[in-house]
Structure 1
């Protein structure tokens, strides 16, 4: 039963974000979301108070992406390269799937939120995956051990958010993915381990 509920909620979230990208947030209605997700009005309102409540589901959408990227990664790839792969692919997804003005609005609501800031929730798949790659990298000597995984994770996520924030400030005038591909390795260079 819980799995069925999760599938319904996931369909609503997925449909909403597809519509937000295609039509824009303001032009998307609850009825549009219900129609595309092939759910009922009752199901929609069981999970969400309204369209605005879907804005906090960005972390869910991104976590689904990280689960699929985890499956794509070559387990023998260097851990530092895995981190750069995850960064590039997540920023490519944002660039292609989330309008820059909507992303900027989402980031700004996280700044003023008095409640839970979903993007900082350490239980997210994002944090679990990045932590596991860093732990693996430290064991292999590919990520240095001078800092703890939690310190490295904090810096890594800070760098990612900085790149996204700058992209939003510049109204998406350049490729987020390509810019990240060039500058994230430079920002993270000091965390490379000594190769054995």
Structure 2
């Protein structure tokens, strides 16, 4: 029970922080604002984080919360390629509506500069577990071209998504991430589908 409460407290702090970063901007948000919004204490905040900057690497946690929310909505009758396109679309809708491009750019740049933990590449994340499950089910149903390892498909899809996010940030968000992904992600995924 204590472990669950600690995860909930940490999660509430992270969720509150990213909500405030979006609404008020990173620089306009204080630790006090985050503590108030999360309904926690300063002691709890500093138990989990050294300061506000330490929250920059936690956007992957926010993404994983989105994937957890999506899991019950996945249609087991849909193929793996359609399911991957769906989760890609839903994440990008969330990003465009609630994550500022400046914050996403900061996160991506911290991941480029990180010498230690790279949160986006952490294979124990909900994201990677979900991708593996979707790809495994697709492989079991014979949906993918022969000779493609499941891990290769997972890795390529994760790289595809990171590439889209990096490009969107590099371009300053001057196009709709959602609209671009709706058009291009299915084309990318079709390269994995077994021939008719």
TM-score, normalised to structure 2, is: 0.96
Is the aligned partner of 1:33 residue 2:54?
no
- The 1:33/1:9 distance shift into structure 2, 3 A limit, reads same
Q: Deviations over 1:162-181 (max 9, x none)?
A: 11111111111121111111
Runs of 4+ in 1 over 4 A off after TM superposition: none
In the alignment, what sits opposite 1:182?
183
Query: For 1:172 and 1:160, how far apart are their aligned partners in 2?
Result: 15
SS across alignment from 1:191: coil
After the TM superposition, which residues 111-150 of structure 1 pair with which residues of structure 2 at under 5 Å, given as runs? 111-150=112-151
- Unaligned runs of 5+ residues in structure 1 are none
Quick one: distance in 2 between partners of 1:123 and 1:163?
22
> Which residue pairs with 1:44 in the alignment?
45
**CA–CA distance in 2 between the matches of 1:26 and 1:145?**
50
Pairwise mapping of residues 86-105 of structure 1 onto structure 2 (< 5 A)?
86-105=87-106
- Residues 120-175 of structure 1 deviation map (CA, whole Å, 9 limit, x = unaligned): 01111101101110111011122223211111111111111111111111111121
| Partners of 1:141 and 1:194 within 8 A in 2 | no
3-state DSSP of counterpart to 2:108 = helix
Using the size of structure 1 for normalisation, the TM-score is 0.96
List runs of 5+ in structure 2 lacking aligned partners: none
Report the Cα distance in structure 1 between the residues aligned to 2:190 and 2:8, rounded to whole angstroms: 40
Report how many residues are paired. 195
Q: Are residue 71 (structure 1) and residue 54 (structure 2) matched?
A: no
* Post-superposition CA distance 1:83-119 (Å, at most 9, x none): 0001111111111111011101110110011111010
CA distance in 2, matches of 1:59, 1:12: 14
* C-alpha contact 1:138 1:193 (8 A) present in aligned 2: no
> What is the alpha-carbon distance in structure 1 between the residues aligned to residue 145 and residue 68 of structure 2?
25
1:17 and 1:190 mapped to 2: Cα distance? Answer: 35
CA distance in 1, matches of 2:194, 2:127: 22
After TM superposition, the structure 1 stretch with the greater mean CA deviation from structure 2, 162-171 or 143-152, is 143-152
